[in-house]
Amino acid sequence: MVFTVKNNTRPFRLVKYVTFTSLIFVFMGTLVMSLLIMQWARSMLLTKSEDYALLLAENLNHQVFLQFVIPVAIEVGKIQLSNKSQYDRLDRVVRGTLHSFEVDQVNIYDMDQTISYSFDQQISGRRNMGGIGYFMARSGKATSILLQKGTLFELMLGLPKISKLSTYIPLRAEKSVSNMSGPILGILEIVQDLSQDYLAVFHFKFFIFMTSLTVMGLLALALIYVVVRGEKIIRKRTEERLKLEEQLRHSERFAALGEMAAGVSHEIRNPLGIIRSSAQLLQKKMNAFDPSNNLPNVIIEETGRLNDIVTGFLMLSRPANPSFKACNIEDILNKNAAFLRPEFEKTKCEVKTSYQNNLPEIIADKNMLYQAFLNLLINAMQAMPNGGLISISVTADKQDIWIVIDDEGEGIQDDVLNKIWDPFYTSKEKGTGLGLSIVKNIIDVHHGTISLENRSVYGTQVRIQLPAKK
């Protein structure tokens, strides 16, 4: 049975696409809403200013008619603003009426588009300066015209240097104090400087834009975090599934080997036992007649090696059920070192141990770990045929125990490192290639990890991680 890992990246790419597309649409919607709000603020400013100008014009029309037109008509009989006294009298009425109001300029046109009165006396008497606003007001309709000056960038940004609103209103004769529907006597132009108001609107627009940008930025960061987090989770799950698939294939392969081994082990071991016992009998007889004949010893040695291969093969394909109990890792390693001490002395290998104080216990099968450490220490010893130092260190944190075994051998070639855990692969002249595979199986059974790499100077380092007792 073969297990395959489904590709989850495509649906997640769709989620990413939908997420970022939604973010773009939300951003565009927020931007459009901000622009609408800013346009609404601008329109409200113009509407307020126009209403303000109309109220001022109504009041000014009333005051000019009552305090200037009627009195002058009664006293002189004719209005002539070219007369300095009449001009000054009108100026006092206009300025007194608008004294406490925000008005930048007031112009009064006569019926032939000549400026009869202005705050700026230099333009008094000029003709044809009213433009379309003048003619609209002359037809009886109040009109406002916005004049803005600045660079193209300033105008596009909504921050002109000068913003003035000119409102043209008919100046009428009043039939009564409450009625302003009499004949048009002239055109009243009220100019308001809106530069500061537009600056306030710009600050308001800038605040809205920066607020929207900040909110969208935070939302984007949140979405990016979610997407990156999701990618990490998907990647981790994919790696876990790939690892699980490899473990399942590994288990399937060794299960098949185990079934085969179970079928043939009996057939192999029985002949091996007969061959070995026969060779031992032959050795006794040969020692009596021809002690120099070494053939029986070769047969005994090779049958023993073949029996070890079958035993290792059986252990790899059908590992024994572990018996987990609380134990101390340093006791197991000390037992290994004590067992191998004669071999270490024979090969001139020195063993140095370094154990962290108060190491926690682990839940493990100490016999299986003893076998695993025994294989690793034998490999370290065999890597140094001329002797050397084997260092064993054990450290721990709240969750794990770390066992590190260093040797001073020649190290392992890079191409060999990729195959080192494969069953039956060996770089030794005499070896089954099952030792490290058995070690890895034992560590896996204990829910730990093992890695083997070359040291930076020389030799090999084995790192084993085992979960501490909880």
pLDDT digits over 358-387, tens only? 889 899 988 889 988 988 998 889 888 888
**463 band by pLDDT with thresholds 50, 70 and 90:** very high
Q: Distance between alpha carbon 88 and the CA centroid of its chain, in Å?
A: 74
Query: pLDDT at position 2, please?
Result: 40
Give me the amino acid identity at 350: E
| Residue written as token pair 């989620």 | 15
- Sign, CA torsion 370/375/378/379: negative
User: What are the backbone angles phi and psi of residue 156, rounded to the nearest 5°?
Assistant: -65, -35
Query: pLDDT at position 465, please?
Result: 93
pTM above 0.75, yes or no: no
Query: pLDDT at position 182, please?
Result: 63
pLDDT digits over 196-207, tens only? 777 777 777 777
Query: pLDDT at position 234, please?
Result: 80
User: CA-CA-CA-CA torsion for 141, 144, 145, 148, nearest 10 degrees?
Assistant: 180
Pairwise CA distance, residues 106 & 117, whole Å:
8
Query: pLDDT at position 180, please?
Result: 47
- Sign, CA torsion 298/301/302/303: positive
Look at phi and psi of residue 388 and say left if phi exceeds 0, alpha if psi is from -120 to 50, else beta: left
Query: Within the chain, which residue ranges are assigned CATH 3.30.450.20?
Result: 9-206
Query: pLDDT at position 223, please?
Result: 75
CA geometry: angle 272, 277, 283, nearest 5 deg: 125
- Sign, CA torsion 425/426/431/437: negative
Q: Which residues lie below 8 Å from residue 375, measured CB to CB, with a gap of 6+?
A: 435, 436, 438, 439
| Residue written as token pair 């082990």 | 265
Query: pLDDT at position 3, please?
Result: 40
For domain 323-467, give the CATH number: 3.30.565.10
Query: pLDDT at position 333, please?
Result: 93
Q: CA distances (Å), 6 to each of 9, 215, 227, 241, 243, in order?
A: 9, 37, 20, 9, 13
pLDDT averaged over the chain? Answer: 78
| Residue written as token pair 């597309």 | 21
pLDDT digits over 396-416, tens only? 988 899 999 999 888 877 777
pLDDT digits over 268-284, tens only? 767 777 787 887 777 77
Burial tier of 382 (Cβ tally within 10 Å: 0-12, 13-18, 19+): middle
Residue 469 has pLDDT above 60, yes or no: yes
Residue 208 has pLDDT above 70, yes or no: yes
Mean pLDDT over 247-261 rounds to 70
CA geometry: angle 206, 207, 211, nearest 5 deg: 115
In the chain, the percentage of residues whose pLDDT exceeds 70 is: 81
pLDDT digits over 64-88, tens only? 888 888 888 788 777 777 788 888 8
Which of these, 145, 190, 153, lies nearest to 46 by C-alpha position?
145
Query: Within the chain, which residue ranges are assigned CATH 3.30.565.10?
Result: 323-467
Let me know how long the chain is: 470
CA geometry: angle 147, 102, 36, nearest 5 deg: 50
Mean pLDDT over 98-109 rounds to 82
Residue 177 has pLDDT above 70, yes or no: no
Number of C-beta neighbours around residue 214 at 10 A: 10
Residue 263 has pLDDT above 70, yes or no: no
For domain 9-206, give the CATH number: 3.30.450.20
Residue 168 has pLDDT above 50, yes or no: yes
Query: pLDDT at position 409, please?
Result: 85
Listing from the earlier edge strand, what are the strands of the sheet with 162-172? 115-118, 105-109, 184-193, 162-172, 143-149
As beta bridge partners, residue 454 has 460
Query: 449 and 464 in contact (C-beta within 8 Å)?
Result: yes
Q: Buried (b) or exposed (e) across 126-138, using 16+ Cβ within 10 A?
A: eeeebeebbebbb
Query: pLDDT at position 392, please?
Result: 92
Q: Which residues lie below 8 Å from residue 331, measured CB to CB, with a gap of 6+?
A: 366
Residue 433 has pLDDT above 70, yes or no: no
DSSP alpha helix (H) spans, 99-194: 131-138, 152-157
Query: pLDDT at position 178, please?
Result: 42
